[in-house]
Amino acid sequence: MHVRRDDVVQVIAGDDAGKTGRILKVLSDKNRVVVEGINYIFKHVRRSQKQPQGGRVQKESPIAVSNVMLMCQNKSCKRFEKTVRIRQRTLPDGTKARVCVKCNEPVGATE
């Protein structure tokens, strides 16, 4: 999967296209991600001790990982804070890293 938790992504398809957010959760078995502030749904909850009023709770629901694209956070990149494609590169110390196609700088945390 090309994205990880805490990556900043932009939604490229669907009702929330163009919005950006941080990934809260990755559901790799279903190829879906939960993005902060994107794809809100209303969940109706019954009255209980936790929710004495009951009612509707607004929360984020998963979105297909193919509908999000990673944003470059390197200030030296000419595509700073814009969507970029990424590649896997092996660094000189032998670790693998996700690398921005445009600026060749590592994106996010290394593996």
Q: Are 2 and 111 in contact (CB under 8 A)?
A: no
C-alpha–C-alpha distance, residues 35 and 60, integer Å: 7
Per-residue pLDDT at 109:
54
pLDDT digits (tens, 9 = 90+) for 43-97: 999 999 988 998 999 999 999 999 999 988 877 777 777 888 989 999 889 988 8
**Which CATH code for domain 8-70?**
2.30.30.30
Distances (CA, A) of 42 to 8, 89, 94: 24, 41, 46
Q: Are 80 and 72 in contact (CB under 8 A)?
A: yes
In this prediction the pTM is 0.81
Q: Is the dihedral of CA 73, 79, 81, 87 positive or negative?
A: negative
